[in-house]
Chains A and B, each alone.
Chain A
Amino acid sequence: MLVLEKNALSEEIESLVNQFGKDRSALLQILQAIQRKHKHISDFAQQEVARMMDIHPVEVNSVISFYSFLYSEPKGRNIVRLCQTISCDMLGKEKIEEAVQRELGITFGQTTKDKRITLEYTNCLGMCDQGPAMLVNEKVYTKLDPETAINILNSIK
């Protein structure tokens, strides 16, 4: 990481800490803000957060590893999460699974070479009556069939 990038990131985290406060309960909000902007929370960012909040880096790391929506490794620009819970599974999750894997040429857990999409599973999205469901970044798509799923994937940049 370049020094300039590091300084910019430090400044950004500092403003976040000023905004949300130094209390331990502010940690998640700060991490989510970094995640939203940078798509992952780098090890440097984790240590900076820890330093400014006066906690240990390993504690920040522990929180990040606990939540599946926070990443410490860089991911694709868009994250597509397919619901793997039982209702969606019974309504034909498998077909969607096969279709998107074939379309993107990657398996779940991987990122496309152009860093456009990361495929992941998620647990219940609460759309059990409208399955199969898929979460693209922060938007939910329901009642999918393979064709619509591929169309959705192709429409994101």
Chain B
Amino acid sequence: MVKRENERIPVSQQPFVVDKPTDLTTIGGTVSVQINEKKITVPLGTTILEACQINQIHIPTLCHHPDLCIAGVCRVCVVEVEKMRTLQTACSFPITSPIKINTSTEMVRKARRHIIDLLLSEHYGECYSCFRNGNCELQNLAKEYGVDNYTFGHVETPRYEVDRSSAAVVRDMNKCVLCKRCVRTCIDLQEVGVLEAINRGHETHVGTFLDKPLADVVCINCGQCINRCPTSALRANDPSDEIWAAIDDPKKHVVIQTAPSPRAAIGEEFGKEPGKSFTGELNTALRRIGFDRVFDTNFTADLTIMEEGTELLTRLKKAIVDKDESVKLPQFTSCSPGWVKYIEHFYPEFLEYLSSAKSPQQMFGALIKTFYAQEAKIDPADIITVALMPCAAKKFECNRPEMFDSGFKDVDYGLTTREMAKMIREAGIYLPEMPKSHFDDPFGDASGAGLIFGATGGVMEAALRTAYELVTGREVPFKNLIIEPCRGFEGVKQASVKLENCVEQYKFLEGVDLKFVVAHGTANAKIVMEMLKKGELNDVHFVEIMACPGGCLGGGGQPIPTSAEIRAKRAEAIYEEEASLPIRKSHENPHVNYIYEKFLTEGPCGKLSHKLLHTHYIKRGKYIS
């Protein structure tokens, strides 16, 4: 990701950060320090925490998160630095001189215990009924430091009302310990700016603008704050009880679609290392839970490629052949509901640049209640569609009033990876030991192009594979169909493919340098939008934006914790699974071709497609009244 200065904090108050020297052999490039009688040499500017981590010395942390800037507000990581009057926070203390550090003296242990006691005195702990029970950083700290009574008291009754206004994110400030990770996530990492500390002293709480409910402010529901919250002050809106009720109702035909990212990450919920997909196992587990049909969201991801690709080619034709100046280029992808809400709020004047294609989840919902209901001869009123997504914003998306194109609510419930894992555990199933099975027909197994939607750059890669072949009749000129410029976790990626020897239908694109931009995280989306405003994207044709850092695999519904390392492993799992699939191009998916023959007979962007698979957007603006 692009590393930027933390502009939010005034220069005078910014934590003292020393840039590490690039050449460690220069004089003063390294410093020798002594940590607990052990002498080590570290590069200048290494924080005490980093120095301890590479030397296997454990330091407890709470407000520190690898994705976020240093805050040093929780004080849990205090250590003793010789010749310093007070204890110092390890996370924000850069080593610039040969110092002696003690990480486990009486003073340090007592201070840490007191700090944790003080945190607990403000925390409304109801551990049994808490969704983070067993995965709570505060709980772990209390255990680690042997908290055996509440020295400074304990919150007996909740002080704040739980904010359930948002369809995606539930805020319970009674659980908040003011580590401000959500604030740094919202303002620095995502640059949405919904949460900030309000008031002062003991009245401080994390709040929204004028303490309005989350549904009334500019929250994009990305859920990144949930992934970074150490307690359960932030959690997703859990519909699993309603889903159980639907499963237990014999009249209801409950259908689930699973996205690729949860499959690559759900193992982490069962104690497995990140980096392995459990697609086959999950299919079996879902059937055992009681879902009547298990479908692959990748099928509609393929369909998205067909629709969005066709839309792009239509726009290009209008712009190049018809010289229509009202055509908006570049075209932006619309798969990420967080990004869609972001642009609706912050750049409503650019909504026309957004592809009108729905996200794969909503396309599937609409198809299940029309095409599938027709094929399987089931009344769509009796069908309940559930979507297993890595995403909190999908919960908001499926509740959008315009998502009723099948005549019913297209997708009834959006379920996150964490909630799915909970349901699987509840059913007494240990996922990693399930036998493998395939997806159900009529949608069957999808192509690899749909699968890589989960990683940032995936939509672009999938779209290029199809668009290039449609236009030139040849495969993309990259080895093994792996379009390297689309991969990796750089914040904003830019590249181009030259279109040569085009087929008759697309002769107008002869010699065009197809330029594309890929960005992930709304902070990077903001950079791209500012470029667009300045006219720097005039020669670009297609832009992929995902609201979450790392793309869907780093989504707000994924297992906690998250870090760049974990996200990279999840991406590996997705790319590995993709490479093993027989079909790796969307337009070669036989089920996609079948649906265009049988149901959407006018082809991509036809009349029925437009009704079921495309949508419109709302100019929300960012003013809160």
A contact residues vs B (CB 8 Å cutoff): 24-25, 43, 46-47, 55-59, 61-62, 65-66, 68, 72
A57 touches B624 (CB 8 A): yes
Complex formed: what's the CA distance from A24 to B187 in Å?
A: 14
A58 touches B209 (CB 8 A): yes
- Contact status of A58 and B208, CB under 8 A, knowing A43-B624, A47-B624, A65-B198: yes
A57 touches B198 (CB 8 A): no
For A46, A56, A58, A72, which residue has the most chain B Cβ atoms within 10 angstroms?
A58
Is B197 at the interface (CB under 8 A from chain A)?
A: yes
Other-chain contact of A43, B200, B210, B622 (Cβ < 8 Å): B210
Note all chain B residues with C-beta closer than 8 A to A72.
210
Q: Could you tell me which residues of chain B, from 172 to 200, have a CB within 8 Å of some CB in chain A?
A: 187, 192-200
B7 touches A59 (CB 8 A): no
B200 touches A58 (CB 8 A): no
Note all chain A residues with C-beta closer than 8 A to B196.
56, 58-59, 61-62
| A/B interface sample: 22 pairs, CB < 8 A | A24-B8, A25-B10, A25-B12, A43-B209, A43-B210, A46-B209, A47-B209, A47-B622, A56-B192, A57-B193, A57-B624, A58-B196, A58-B207, A58-B209, A59-B8, A59-B187, A61-B209, A61-B210, A62-B196, A66-B199, A68-B200, A72-B210
Tell me, rounded to whole Å, the shortest Cβ–Cβ distance linking B240 to chain A: 31
Is B625 at the interface (CB under 8 A from chain A)?
A: yes
Tell me, rounded to whole Å, the shortest Cβ–Cβ distance linking A115 to chain B: 22
Complex formed: what's the CA distance from A47 to B209 in Å?
A: 9
Tell me, rounded to whole Å, the shortest Cβ–Cβ distance linking B320 to chain A: 36
A58 touches B195 (CB 8 A): yes
Complex formed: what's the CA distance from A106 to B562 in Å?
A: 53
Note all chain B residues with C-beta closer than 8 A to A56.
187, 192-194, 196
Other-chain contact of A66, B193, B200, B210 (Cβ < 8 Å): B200
Complex formed: what's the CA distance from A25 to B14 in Å?
A: 13
Task: Tell me whether chain A's interface is mostly helix, strand or loop, or mixed.
Answer: helix
Note all chain B residues with C-beta closer than 8 A to A65.
198-200
Is B128 at the interface (CB under 8 A from chain A)?
A: no
Other-chain contact of A62, B7, B197, B217, B625 (Cβ < 8 Å): B197
- Contact status of A59 and B193, CB under 8 A, knowing A24-B10, A43-B624: yes
Is B478 at the interface (CB under 8 A from chain A)?
A: no
Q: Known contacts A43-B210, A58-B209; can you find 11 more A-B pairs with CB under 8 A?
A: A43-B209, A47-B623, A55-B8, A56-B196, A58-B193, A58-B207, A61-B209, A62-B196, A62-B197, A62-B198, A68-B200
Q: Whose C-beta in chain B lies nearest to the C-beta of A68?
A: B200
Complex formed: what's the CA distance from A24 to B209 in Å?
A: 18
Note all chain B residues with C-beta closer than 8 A to A58.
193-196, 207-209, 217
B contact residues vs A (CB 8 Å cutoff): 7-8, 10, 12, 187, 192-200, 207-210, 217, 622-625
Tell me, rounded to whole Å, the shortest Cβ–Cβ distance linking B10 to chain A: 5
Tell me, rounded to whole Å, the shortest Cβ–Cβ distance linking A155 to chain B: 33
Note all chain A residues with C-beta closer than 8 A to B193.
55-59
Note all chain B residues with C-beta closer than 8 A to A25.
10, 12
Pick the 7 closest A-B CB pairs, nearest first.
A56-B193, A62-B196, A58-B196, A58-B209, A65-B198, A65-B199, A66-B200
Tell me, rounded to whole Å, the shortest Cβ–Cβ distance linking B307 to chain A: 35
Complex formed: what's the CA distance from A109 to B257 in Å?
A: 56
Q: Whose C-beta in chain B lies nearest to the C-beta of A50?
A: B193
Note all chain A residues with C-beta closer than 8 A to B624.
43, 47, 57
Tell me, rounded to whole Å, the shortest Cβ–Cβ distance linking A82 to chain B: 20
Note all chain A residues with C-beta closer than 8 A to B209.
43, 46-47, 57-58, 61
Complex formed: what's the CA distance from A62 to B209 in Å?
A: 8
Note all chain A residues with C-beta closer than 8 A to B198.
61-62, 65
Note all chain B residues with C-beta closer than 8 A to A47.
209, 622-624
Q: Whose C-beta in chain A lies nearest to the C-beta of B187?
A: A56
Q: Whose C-beta in chain B lies nearest to the C-beta of A48?
A: B623
Complex formed: what's the CA distance from A116 to B192 in Å?
A: 40
Note all chain B residues with C-beta closer than 8 A to A66.
199-200
Complex formed: what's the CA distance from A58 to B210 in Å?
A: 8
Complex formed: what's the CA distance from A147 to B208 in Å?
A: 44
Note all chain A residues with C-beta closer than 8 A to B10.
24-25
Complex formed: what's the CA distance from A46 to B196 in Å?
A: 14
Complex formed: what's the CA distance from A24 to B12 in Å?
A: 11
For A43, A46, A47, A57, which residue has the most chain B Cβ atoms within 10 angstroms?
A57
Complex formed: what's the CA distance from A62 to B10 in Å?
A: 15
Tell me, rounded to whole Å, the shortest Cβ–Cβ distance linking A5 to chain B: 14
Note all chain A residues with C-beta closer than 8 A to B210.
43, 61, 72
For A43, A47, A56, which residue has the most chain B Cβ atoms within 10 angstroms?
A56
Complex formed: what's the CA distance from A65 to B193 in Å?
A: 16
Complex formed: what's the CA distance from A149 to B450 in Å?
A: 76
Complex formed: what's the CA distance from A59 to B184 in Å?
A: 12
Note all chain A residues with C-beta closer than 8 A to B8.
24, 55, 59
Tell me, rounded to whole Å, the shortest Cβ–Cβ distance linking A96 to chain B: 25
Tell me, rounded to whole Å, the shortest Cβ–Cβ distance linking A27 to chain B: 9
Complex formed: what's the CA distance from A21 to B193 in Å?
A: 21
Q: Whose C-beta in chain A lies nearest to the C-beta of B193?
A: A56
Note all chain A residues with C-beta closer than 8 A to B622.
47, 57
Note all chain B residues with C-beta closer than 8 A to A46.
209
Complex formed: what's the CA distance from A56 to B195 in Å?
A: 10
